[in-house]
Each structure stands twice: as structure tokens, then as C-alpha cells.
Amino acid sequence: MTAVRDATAFGALARDHLPRLYSLARRLLPEDPEELVQDCLLHAFRRFADLRDEVAAERWFNAILVNCAKDRYRAAGRSPEVPVDPVDEFSLFRTIAAADPFPYSDSLHVDFLCRFGAHDVHAVLADVPDLYRVPLVLVHMEGYPTKEVAAALEVPLGTLLSRLHRGRKLFERRLWDYAVQHDLLRDGGR
């Protein structure tokens, strides 16, 4: 009887969190979010007794999802470190200023960012290697403290901070490349 009640309670909780989990899974594993959410649901179901308080359910599901993502990265042997140069030296701010793509703009940098719709930003983010994208997603988009993310990813805080820095630089670099490739730098362009 308890097992049935637990399964029903789990089902209700999982349904509530599904849209959010899917969105996070798209950001952690863009090419296979559905498989990742399925892994997460199966693990969460088996460990449902560990969840003492439903208020903590969001963090509990997220932690399981991140662990499942780590298993998949490991299994695929993904994301080698990106060489330091020239990524660390790239500055999107300076690149935009030097290229001056909108000569009549008095808010050049903001105008540049306004060219990107949500779909474009998702595409750029998906193009950042896992190793750097995952810290960006968890810290800047999900709002987790850096120490907590370092613990979840099982890396020293210094390593996490370094990956965040490089993740930001890669994100900046790819925003610029995307803008060039998709004709976002032309006045009157898309």
C-alpha cells in the first residue's frame, strides 16, 4: 500500500517538474534531452524515499539530472579541454567596438545583443562544449552558487571558476561567429 501511495505521489511530483526538467536537459545535453530526462525519472523513482520534503524537490530532481548528464558525458568521453589560446583573450565587447557594425547606433553593444532571439541564444549555447556549457547553465541560468556546482560536478572550486571563465569566453566567441554567419551584423539584416 505504501509503495502504491509513493508511486502515485512520485507520479504527481514528476509531472509537475517535467517541463522544467526538460528545459534544463535541453541545455545540459542538447542532442538528447529526452533520454536524459528518462534516465532522471528512472533514478528519481528508485530513490524517491530519499526525498524527505517536497519543497526540496526541484533541487533534488536537478541534482539527479546533473548526475545523469555526467554519466552520459563520461560514457561518451566528451568535451576535451579547449586550448587556452585564443579563447581566453577574445573580448566580444572589444570585437563589436572594433567592427562597429551599426555605425548610426548610440548603443552599439546592446543593439548587437538585441539581434539575438531566444532561439539564436539557445543555438549558440548548444554549440559551447559540455565541459564549459554546464557550469554556465547551472551558475548563470539556474542561479546555483559556484561552490555548490563545483561539488555537484566533483571538481575543485578553482577548476569550476576557470571553466566558467572559459565558458563565457567561448559563449562570447560563438555569439560573434553566429552573428557573422547568420547575417545579424548588417543594418536591416535579420
Partner 1 sequence: MISCEAAVRRLWEHLESPVSLAERALLDEHLALCRRCCGEAEFAAELRGVLQRLPPEELPPDAGQRFEALIRQMEEQA
Q: Which residues bind partner 1 (CB under 8 A)?
A: 3-4, 6-8, 10-11, 14-15, 18-20, 22-23, 26-27, 33-34, 37-38, 41, 45, 89, 91-94, 97, 109-110, 113, 116, 118, 121-122, 125, 136, 139-141, 143, 145-146, 161, 164-165, 168, 171-172
Q: How far is the CB of 11 from partner 1 (least distance, A)?
A: 5
Contacts (Cβ under 8 Å, ≥6 apart) of 139: 145, 146, 149, 164
Nearer to partner 1, 77 or 103 (CB): 103
Nearer to partner 1, 77 or 89 (CB): 89
CA-CA-CA-CA torsion sign (76, 29, 41, 50): positive
Kind and range of the H or E run holding 66 = helix 57-76
Q: How far is the CB of 121 from partner 1 (least distance, A)?
A: 6
Nearer to partner 1, 23 or 159 (CB): 23
Q: How far is the CB of 136 from partner 1 (least distance, A)?
A: 7
Nearer to partner 1, 82 or 92 (CB): 92
Cβ neighbours around 174 below 10 Å, total: 19
DSSP letter string, 133-188? HHHHIIIIIS---HHHHHHHHT--HHHHHHHHHHHHHHHHHHHHHHHHHTT-SSTT
